[in-house]
Structure 1
């Protein structure tokens, strides 16, 4: 008989925590405030992601019977029909919560997101376009939090870049990856990480300083540039970098993983907007993911 623990294993429960920050990063980047019903959007994101994980196992059930026999479907703990029921339930509930939390705009992003998830798991995953397809899913998830607002596109592109790098590297999680692919993954993620850095404050030019001295210091100085929030996301960026570097250092089977670096990157993007409460929430989610992940003896989160 299928137990709740089997269902949680099917949807990769610890990994679902890595998508909470998508809608938070998108919403804050788009200028939205998370109050009241808008907090339903992160829950919608978790459900849609969980449905995608279950669909991944359903689509790969024959392959998993050879390569990952411990997974819920090939091990017999969850039937193929039961997995499809989980997929349908998660997608339906996720779309409903997106509509409740984001209105028509939320629904307008959630429906294409479901389509992108289905396309990746059933068609694109094993093709050269797989990493781009997965990146599109993550980017749409970020835009879900912003209701499609264009101001959130840079944040969505940043997380999509990191996702593309992780997806490239995850293709070697069973048989082992290559140094070339690991290097490409590192380069893509490094570009995403640099995009999360706060803008540097420009120093006054030599010409401006000389002009002030000529005027006897009476001229008003231009106001200083707006600085980044006091809690600079450097630790978050370093955590993301360490996760990626570890993936670069080893290409052994079942070691090619790095989705855990997603949460620090999300926290960095959120901290840039000054939403320190949401950034702290993501830090707590990262701790919870690590605690849950350490209890898993086998399996992966990609």
Structure 2
């Protein structure tokens, strides 16, 4: 029989949930799944290793972020776990290091190419938190991290790994969205920016429009499929049949991709417009939260455009979870 948590234990769990921003975790698995779909591969064991690595590296970045900003938060966000004393800076730094090591260990299980991408991702995360976040390169660095996370899923899933480069267009779209959200987040403490939310809205609409109109390229040329034997009632599938099925949209799937693109754009659009019309800190923070939640329908749209309908619909199931968690712990 398990004992109920005491008030002190509940408080510690709450503090760590705030530090790690667990409500944003639902936006992470879709990176690897969308990357696998964009590379024309079915999710497998390597994809699971990539998802585990992504979750660890994401949380490592969250803990390191608060450790690096502990003095700034003491003045602007004294309620945060570190300045309030609920978590010590040493514990946050140790957690970040442990999560980074765990993430790299999980990525190594998917193979050396996946470990290489995960190492680049971890390096980008630490560089962002420890120095680049408050520079003009901050949004681009964060966009690079998110794009690398998608490429991690593609690299961990595809064999041979050079096929992972087919996911670069999807990584670019995810990176553009991340750049826009990160740029807005730089104003969530003080507000005051009208141009940035409008620019982010323009990026969102551009990404949605690209998703609605872009058709993925055909698979790279290979040897011709063998001609069917006359006695067979059905054609004999060639060696690239699975890849072709995943790489080219099904006749009914472009509609799903367009619907998901609209769902993606609609999630942050109103919030960004409100933040532009009234650039207060509160509305800007809400716009950032909407941008984080929009990552999930974006991932689903990327998967749908690659022909992975099951993956796209499965990712949509994370949307209610993200909303429920956001009501308990802020994702920003």
Give the structure-2-normalised TM-score: 0.78
Pairing 1:269–2:302 present? yes
Distance 1:285 1:272 in 2: 19
2:65 aligned residue (30, 39, 56): 56
Pairing 1:86–2:119 present? no
Distance 2:46 2:136 in 1: 39
Pairing 1:293–2:326 present? yes
Contact 2:146 2:178 in 1 (8 A): yes
Distance 1:108 1:17 in 2: 24
Shift of 1:67: 0.9
CA distances 1:200-254 after superposition (whole Å, capped 9, x unpaired): 7xxxxxxxxxxxxxxxxxxxxxxxx963527613343223222133122222203
Structure 2: stretches of 5+ with no match in the other structure: 1-7, 156-160, 216-248
CA distances 1:255-290 after superposition (whole Å, capped 9, x unpaired): 321211111100000111222222122111111010
Moved more, 119-128 or 30-39: 30-39
Contact 1:125 1:131 in 2 (8 A): yes
Aligned pairs for 1:236-275 (under 5 A) are 236-242=260-266, 243-250=268-275, 251-256=279-284, 257=288, 258-275=291-308
Distance 1:177 1:50 in 2: 29
Moved more, 239-248 or 258-267: 239-248
Pairing 1:234–2:258 present? yes
2:197 aligned residue (182, 189, 200): 182
Distance 2:127 2:46 in 1: 29
Shift of 1:113: 0.4
CA distances 1:111-169 after superposition (whole Å, capped 9, x unpaired): 01000001111111111111111111111111101117210100000000000000111
Please give the secondary structure, in 1, of the residue aligned with 2:28.
helix
1:5 aligned residue (2, 14, 25): 14
User: May I ask how many residue pairs the two structures share in their alignment?
Assistant: 274
Shift of 1:195: 2.5
Distance 1:244 1:279 in 2: 21
Cα pair distance change 1:231/1:14, threshold 3 Å? farther
Contact 1:231 1:271 in 2 (8 A): no
Stretches of 4+ aligned residues off by more than 4 angstroms: none
Number of the residue aligned with 1:173: 188
Number of the residue aligned with 1:33: 42
Please give the secondary structure, in 1, of the residue aligned with 2:256.
coil
Distance 1:116 1:228 in 2: 39
Distance 1:289 1:269 in 2: 19
Please give the secondary structure, in 1, of the residue aligned with 2:84.
coil
Distance 1:239 1:232 in 2: 10
Pairing 1:45–2:73 present? no
Structure 1: stretches of 5+ with no match in the other structure: 201-224
Distance 2:136 2:252 in 1: 39
Distance 2:187 2:274 in 1: 13
Aligned CA-pair RMSD: 1.9
Number of the residue aligned with 2:175: 160
Cα pair distance change 1:177/1:43, threshold 3 Å? farther
